[in-house]
Amino acid sequence: MVQAFSSFEELWREICKDIRDGTLSPRIKSPKMRKAVLDIISPNPTLASKLEGVCQEVEKVDWFGFIPKLRPNVKYVYTIMTGSMQPYLKKLRYYANGLPLVSADYGSTESWIGVNVDLTLPPEDVTFDVVLLSLTLSSYHFTGMKKIAVQEVMISWKINQFHYLRLKLDKSMK
């Protein structure tokens, strides 16, 4: 999400022009993509002007609070903010200007792993229910570590083919 907003900071003028004119930037090279987009867009000067106004306003304050300025009715920001995404939290908070950040899922490239048990907590303090899916969907390999990454196993239960395990991560291991 942060990478998308950073790209938008650089390209907003071009995007507004495309919206205003109902065109598509020549930087989009894929013929199939161009056709698909051009088949559904039409000129929208009103939307382009509104977007330009927001961009000009937040550009003056280095894009601080961009999300609520762009979408005034937004209530929270939902995205993955754990693991390798944690370094982006500071910039996401900057864009969000006080909107709650919700990190509901915990996953890996191999599989979805768990769900946040308290969506009201900031991403750094969440506890995830680890959902160990049927072995036909995922496999897990837990290895020993010099430091124990889990403070406590809070509860474990099995429902149908899913095994649930609630873990509280040690703050020093996040």
Return per-residue pLDDT of the chain as tens, 174 residues.
899 999 999 999 999 999 999 999 999 999 999 999 999 999 999 999 999 999 999 999 999 999 999 999 999 998 877 777 788 899 999 999 999 998 888 777 766 777 888 888 888 888 777 766 544 555 555 554 444 444 444 444 444 444 445 444 444 444
pTM of model > 0.75: no
Q: Which domain holds residue 154?
A: 105-174
From CA 25, how far away is CA 47, in angstroms rounded? 17
- The verdict on residue 153 lying in a domain is yes
Q: How many domains does the chain have?
A: 1
- The verdict on residue 8 lying in a domain is no
From CA 95, how far away is CA 76, in angstroms rounded? 12
- Asked if 26 and 20 count as a contact pair (C-beta separation under 8 A), the reply is no
Task: Provide the token pair at 159.
Answer: 């429902």
From CA 85, how far away is CA 173, in angstroms rounded? 15
- The verdict on residue 37 lying in a domain is no
